[in-house]
Structure 1
Amino acid sequence: MFQNQTFTSRYFNGVSAVPEEGTVLVHGQTVQFNSFDTNHVINLSQFTEFTRTHKGCKLTLLPDETKESPVLEIFCSKEDAKLFEKIWIQNKKSQSHSNALFYSIREMNPIVLGLLSLIVVSIVGFFYWKGLELVTNFIPLSMDKSFGDSVQLKMDSQFQKCDSKATDRFFSEALKKIVPKDSKHQFDVTVIESPIPNAFALSNGKIYFFSGLLNESESQEEVLGVLAHEIAHVERRHHMRNLVKAGGTSLAISLVIGPGLGNMEFLETFTELGSTILVLKFSRDFETEADKFSIEYLKSQNISTEGLLSFFQRMESLENGEEPSEENVPAIKTKEEDFTAKQITDFLSTHPATQERMKTLESLIQKGKKGTIKKVVSDTIWKEVQTVCLDFKNSESK
């Protein structure tokens, strides 16, 4: 505690930019500023902010942001500045319970404070994300259909369909077997012309199969496995859950960083990157969940569960740049095939690592019955399904 100690100082009155040079007499919790024509006696607790400087410390009197606050600068050693701050904090803590908590935190070691902050943020974040999951339960299924319908209009206008009687028959029979009996969704499958071996579903139950997947599939069960996976995306409302989490992520980051970023473009970029990374993780979680439920759907109907695993085993070979066996190599390689391999790599970049995914699938398949039904249509119809769009393209070129 200071007892009648004097320090060189200067006082800014909040009106003039020119400070008054003088001295400060410190006695206990009171400071008395004296200059040629000014005398101020102020209790340390009256100052709203305390800042240590390289020359000593600075005390700000008023919190009012509408006008310049009077400021008292005291020139002293680092040790004296620390003691000034300690006395000031003790005074502030005695004013109220909220002040006691706030200034106790301020006194904490920065490393300890950082660790505590990290723990608090982690706990709050955990419950925040869990809360976002619950939000979807309050969104009616009609919203899923509405979003899906709007995307479907764009899809149908941009892609060339090449459905056939064979594909209609195959997917009609497959949907009857795989879709859960208590489903509240209406499913429909369309084949679109594209060499990419992929499929995706919209939130309204519309499922698109790229012809490349059908052309390159080795069995009906592979396509059934992929179909079950896409049905699971819709049944588990992954589209809406992903949308809610994406919006929640953007909102959380915006609240932390705050609006009015001005020219700090790097923060805006960070916000976008953070949202993208988190949404990508959600997507991977949903893919794994879809794998799990697709196996359940297939097992419940005694349909073979090996197809989805077989599909990803071949995707992994293409992802790693491995050549297919000679018996499966077409006589002529085209640029389109090279393009397909690249698209597979791009596709897998937003999905779980193939090895990881196969391990999960293998584990799921081993539990319970594996299923024995491998066909839902005759070999003749399947042959037509497998070559869909190839005949379509040939007829288009004539």
Structure 2
Amino acid sequence: MFQNQTFTSRYFNGVSAVPEEGTVLVHGQTIQFTSFDTHHKLTISQFAEFSQTHKGCKLILLPDERKESPILEIFCTKEETKLLEKIWIQNKKSQSHASALFYSIREMNPIVLGILSLLIVTIVGFFYFKGLEFVTNFIPLSMDKSLGDSVELKMEAQFQKCDTKATDRFFSEALKKIVPKDSKHKFEISVLSSTIPNAFALSNGKIYFFSGLLNDADSQEEVIGVLAHEIAHVEKRHHMRNLVKAGGTSLAISLVVGPGLGNMEFLETFTEIGSTILVLKFSRDFETEADKSSIEYLKSQNMSTDGLLRFFKRMEKLEKGESDSEDNEEVSNAKDEKSTTNQITDFLSTHPATTERMKTLESLIQKGKKGTIKKVVSDSIWKEVQTACLDFKNSDSK
């Protein structure tokens, strides 16, 4: 506590830009400023803000709506500044319980405060994003269909469909076996002409297979495994859950950072997210959930569960440039086509063939009984399925 200690000081009265030079006498909770022609007697409680400066400290009086708040600058050592701040904080803490909490936090070590703040943000963020999962339960399935329908139009304008009687028969039989009996979704499958070995689903239940996946598949099991995986994405509403999470994240950032809410930019951002999120690469958690669900669908129908794993193994080889294909020209054409449609297909890929994911699949397949049914159509129909779009390409090139 200061007892009649004097410091060099200056006082800004909030009206003139020229400060009054003088001295300050600090005694307990009282501060007396004296200049050549002015005398101010103030108490610590009158100061709203306290900050350290390179020459001492600066105290700001309670704000005045009619003029600038008066400021008192005191020139002193760092130790004296810290003692003055301590007196000021103790005074503020005695004013109310909320003030006591706020200024107790202010007194904390910056490192400890940083760790505590990070912990609080992490906990709040965890429950916030967990809460977003429940929001989807209140969104009707009609929204999934509407959003999927809008994207379906865009996709079919970009790619040529080449469905055949064989592909229709194959996927019709496969859907009968894989789709859960209590499903609320209506599924429809189309084949798109592209050498890219991939597939993706829209939120309205429309599933697209690139012909490259059918042409390169080693067996019906592979295609059935991929189909089960895409059905799981729709059944688990991953598109809508992704949209809610993305929108929730955008909203949280807007609330924290500030811009966007006042001029409706947030709604524009949300709309932009919605137009792409429907076929966006899913998160690791959603992919794992789809993998687990697909295995459950297949096992419940006594169908083979090895196909999806074999598909990923083949994709891994392709990614590493170790494809078993001997037709180098075809592989080159596939790469060229992928580069030309890169803007569309980059975000359509829902099958990152990672080692970790294949290990998860292996553990899922090993649990419980393995399915025995490996075919849904005859070998002759399957051969026609595998040549999907090839006849279309040949006739197109003539």
TM-score, with structure 1 as normaliser: 0.90
Deviations 1:237-269 (A, max 9, x none): 0000000000111111222222279xxxxxxxx
Pair 1:65–1:397, CA change in 2 (3 A) = farther
CA distance in 1, matches of 2:348, 2:367: 26
2:336 matched to which residue of 1? Answer: 339
Deviations 1:325-360 (A, max 9, x none): xxx4237445313336877x9679875551011001
3-state DSSP of counterpart to 1:11 = strand
1:311 matched to which residue of 2? Answer: 311
* Structure 2 gaps, min length 5: 262-271
Q: Within 5 A, what are the aligned runs for 1:1-398? A: 1-64=1-64, 67-259=67-259, 283-324=283-324, 328-330=325-327, 332-333=329-330, 335-339=332-336, 352=352, 354-398=354-398
Pair 1:306–1:348, CA change in 2 (3 A) = farther
* Structure 1 gaps, min length 5: 262-271
CA distance in 2, matches of 1:311, 1:323: 12
Between stretches 114-123 and 98-107, larger displacement belongs to: 114-123
CA distance in 2, matches of 1:169, 1:131: 42
Identity percentage of aligned residues: 81
Q: Is the 8 A contact 1:318 1:341 kept in 2?
A: no
Letter in structure 2 aligned against 1:164: T
Letter in structure 2 aligned against 1:330: D
Q: Is the 8 A contact 1:292 1:364 kept in 2?
A: yes
Q: How big is the shift at 1:389?
A: 0.4
Letter in structure 1 aligned against 2:124: V
TM-score, with structure 2 as normaliser: 0.90
Pair 1:281–1:186, CA change in 2 (3 A) = closer
Q: Is the 8 A contact 2:160 2:193 kept in 1?
A: yes
Pair 1:290–1:212, CA change in 2 (3 A) = same
Pair 1:66–1:156, CA change in 2 (3 A) = farther
Letter in structure 2 aligned against 1:357: R
Q: Is the 8 A contact 1:283 1:350 kept in 2?
A: no
CA distance in 1, matches of 2:174, 2:280: 30
2:269 matched to which residue of 1? Answer: none
Q: CA RMSD in A?
A: 2.3
Q: How big is the shift at 1:122?
A: 1.1
CA distance in 2, matches of 1:322, 1:331: 12
CA distance in 2, matches of 1:151, 1:281: 15
Q: Is the 8 A contact 2:215 2:387 kept in 1?
A: yes
CA distance in 2, matches of 1:6, 1:260: 51
Q: Is the 8 A contact 2:313 2:353 kept in 1?
A: no
Q: Is the 8 A contact 2:238 2:282 kept in 1?
A: no
Q: How big is the shift at 1:168?
A: 0.4
3-state DSSP of counterpart to 2:36 = coil
CA distance in 1, matches of 2:106, 2:22: 30
Q: How big is the shift at 1:177?
A: 0.5
1:264 matched to which residue of 2? Answer: none
